[in-house]
Amino acid sequence: MSSDNPPSMTTEASSAPPERAYEPRPSFHDELFDDDGTPRPLAAALMDALERLGPAGLDDAGHRRDAIFLQQGITFETVGEDGPSRERPFPLDLVPRILSGPEWRTLKQGLAQRIRALNHFVDDVYHGREIVREGIVPWSLVAGRSHFARAVHGIRPPGGVYCHVAGCDLVRDSDGTWKVLEDNVRTPSGISYVLENRVAMARLVPDLFNAYRVRPVDQYPQLLLAALRSVAPSADTEATVVVWTPGPMNSAYFEHAVLARQMGVELVEASDLVVRDEVLYMRTTRGLVRVHAVYRRLDDDFIDPLEFRPDSMLGVPGLIRAYRAGTVAIANAIGTGVADDKAIYYYVPEMIKYYLGEVPLLENVRTYLLNDPEQLEFTLENIARLVVKPTGESGGKGVLIGPTATDEELTRMAAAVRAHPERWIAQEVVKLSTVPTAGRDGRLEPRHVDLRPFAVFGERISIVPGGLTRVALEEGSMIVNSSRGGGSKDTWVLEDGESDDRAESRLPDPLPPALPDLRYGGWTGQAQQQQQDAC
């Protein structure tokens, strides 16, 4: 993917003193340094602080970090070559990534717009299908998605919210513009690392925070809880909310536990839940207790063996019946996965125009839909410089990166695409931006990053400042998944006086209610009318 930049160019000898030896990779956008190697104004204070700390200090803090993470059990398991899996501390890079306030606001608005459109789309797919009738999205494409759920046709969840939790992956191209790489609206994970990274940074390298006012991230669990409560169908009592995990064997179990603990709700497994008479209950030490809202962290397929996969041991029989009866809210709503699909992703800018009547604020990466014969031909001709992805997968599974693939892989992929063009999409290669990252001996080197901000949709959309920055720790690599040698960074959004966390633009001040015998608009309206009459 990066073969056009031989590594020798980045390590070219320079006359600068060693502490300034950081050189951004040419033809990539570096977020903290200009092309000539001087820090951007935003990063100047950070670089000074890092210089005071020195490479040895940074390296030392790294060792302390590993010890603390192991002690607290913030680990993930990698399967070693000798068989048994080993627990490794989650690789947090101690150099933060910085986003300015105005930049973040633009991103936030773009994300909120996108999530609102996706939410409209899911609602539409299971009800009127207006967007299909308009001829914007073909029905065969929608119905052919693996996550399309026929079982929930016609069910509208409380508040009309489907995508309660969304995490869109954003990347930055070589000219610095933000683009959406994919939409995760099923069960996006990673928020716990955002929370833990901030705590760890404040403990390990407090000096870096000195010159900055960084917006906090720790309100996320409360935002999520409030959103879940707001959609829970509970009339008079405080709604009972639970987090549903597939179990301790799940790779994201740590996150499920963190969220449950910080929200102060129960972390349940399937064996704790039971449906009686279209109502969901959990088994407690004092008998059955009704559950009003479930934040589930497993896919539709496994959720109810009566409606989806009958062999699922993780599901609760009868859950869909309860859901259909409206006695329980499920987040994210069942069937949301239809919008979490790379073929649907192609249409999101269209959706924004169609449902919201707005111009998309965030661009898609240039994508080719392969069931269109012309685009298919183009892709097959240019497969060596494109990225080909399966539509229904996530986590980087089955992705072919043209520029780094062997001829054999390319031929095999071309055959697979030709056989089932509807299962694949092709995208232009994005030249991911870089951020300085601590190397082995504490020296800074450019590494590629992406960003996954987390949005919570309850009564309104809230987005936690920043999000999870994933970083490819290998030189030149653009694969940021933690299972494949990726790490993460703390993402700082700087305070700039606008403390408002609301993602939507501010609503106009409400007019005073009309008096019963006056026409709508109250005094204002009447006064205007009188003026008009006088004219």
- Contact footprint for other proteins (CB under 8 A): 66-67, 70-73, 89, 248, 253, 257-258, 260-261, 266-269, 271-272, 282-286
**Backbone angle region of 22, left / alpha / beta, with phi > 0 → left and psi within -120 to 50 → alpha:** beta
Angle at 79 between CA 76 and CA 85, to 5 degrees: 75
Of 192, 282, 201, 266, which is closest to residue 228 (Cα–Cα)? 266
Of 498, 251, 455, 487, which is closest to residue 362 (Cα–Cα)? 455
Angle at 183 between CA 178 and CA 189, to 5 degrees: 105
In the sheet that holds 400-401, the strands lie side by side as 367-369, 424-428, 386-390, 400-401
Three-state DSSP class for 410?
helix
Of 325, 321, 297, which is closest to residue 164 (Cα–Cα)? 297
How many CB atoms within 10 Å of residue 225? 21
Block residue for tokens 């404040």: 202
Cα separation, 84 vs 64, in Å, equals: 26
Contact 491, 467 (CB under 8 A): yes
**What residues have CB less than 8 Å from 3, skipping those under 6 apart?**
403, 404
